Amino acid sequence: MRRTLLFAILAAGIALLWVTAWPFASAHLQAVAVLREVAGQPVPWVARKLTVPVTTEDLSLSIATSNGQQQVRARVYTPRNMPHAPAMVVFHGVHHLGIDEPRLVGFAAAMAGCGIRVLTPELPGIKDYHVSEDSVATIGESVKWFAAQTGGPVGVMGLSFSGGLALVAASEPQYHPAFRFVVAVGSQDSMLRVADYYLTGRDARPDGSVETLPPHEYGPLVLEYENLDDYVPAQDLAPVRALLKAHLYEDRPGEAAAKLGMTEAQRREARDLMDTSLPATRSAIAASIARHAGESPGLSPEGRLRALGTPVYLLHGEGDNIIPSAETLWMASELPPDVLKAMLVSPVLSHLDLNGSKPGAMDQWRLIHFFALMIHAAEGSVSR
CA–CA distance, 95 with 98 (Å, rounded to integer): 6
Q: Which tens digits make up the pLDDT trace of 219-277?
A: 999 999 999 999 999 999 999 999 999 999 999 999 999 999 899 999 999 999 999 98
Give pTM, 2 decimals. 0.89
Q: Which tens digits make up the pLDDT trace of 45-93?
A: 777 777 889 999 999 998 877 677 889 999 999 999 888 899 999 999 9
Each domain of the chain, given as residue ranges in start order, spans 53-190+300-379, 218-295
Topology of domain 53-190+300-379, per CATH?
Rossmann fold (3.40.50)
Q: Provide the percentage of residues in the chain whose pLDDT is more than 90.
A: 70
Task: Return the pLDDT at 381.
Answer: 52
Name residue 202's beta-bridge partners. Answer: 212
CA–CA distance, 172 with 178 (Å, rounded to integer): 11
Task: List C-alpha distances in Å: 13 to 2, 18, 27.
Answer: 16, 9, 22
DSSP letter at 214? P
C-alpha 360: how far from its chain's center?
24
Name residue 91's beta-bridge partners. Answer: 158
